[in-house]
Amino acid sequence: YQGNWYVVAEVRNDVGEPDMRCSRWNYLHDQQGNDHLSFTSILD
């Protein structure tokens, strides 16, 4: 695949509001409050 990679993951800001960011890697909180890396890619 030679085109652009669009990477989107849902994260939350300091006040807990949803915040959509474009990034290859995002730290996300699971239901136990642990951080884990999530990688999500969308091809155009």
Contact 39, 24 (CB under 8 A): yes
Give the residue among 43, 42, 1 at the shortest CA–CA distance from 10: 42
pLDDT of residue 4: 56
Whether the pTM exceeds 0.75: the reply is no
Q: Is 22 helix (H, G, I), strand (E, B) or coil?
A: strand
pLDDT one-digit tens code per residue, 1-44: 456 555 555 556 566 555 555 445 555 666 776 666 666 554 44
Total tally of structural domains belonging to the chain: 1
**Domain span at residue 34?**
5-43
